[in-house]
Amino acid sequence: MHHIIGVGIGGVVSYLLLILLVGTQYSDKYLPALVIGAIVALAWPWFIGLMLARRVKNRRDESIQKEVDAQMKAKGG
């Protein structure tokens, strides 16, 4: 929840700074970039989390398969 609030506040502050530094005449051209940046800032932790979870699952599955192979080999199968 803190991440969502931080991204929202960051987007608003960035847009206000843009208006102050560039002026209102050109600031609307940068609004899509700010929105896309906010969406990416929200989404990247989830994507990284999914990638890391998949990596952990693959490693766990490999270790389980190695143990099964070792037991089958010791059993003579």
Tens of each residue's pLDDT in the chain, 77 residues: 777 788 788 878 888 888 888 777 777 787 887 788 888 888 888 899 999 999 999 999 999 999 999 999 998 76
The dihedral built from the CA positions of residue 74, 75, 76 and 77, taken in this order, carries a sign that is negative
pLDDT score of 57:
96
Q: Are 34 and 18 in contact (CB under 8 A)?
A: yes
Q: Which residues contact 18 (CB under 8 A, 6 or more apart)?
A: 27, 30, 34
Q: Where are the domains of the chain?
A: 2-75
pLDDT score of 77:
61
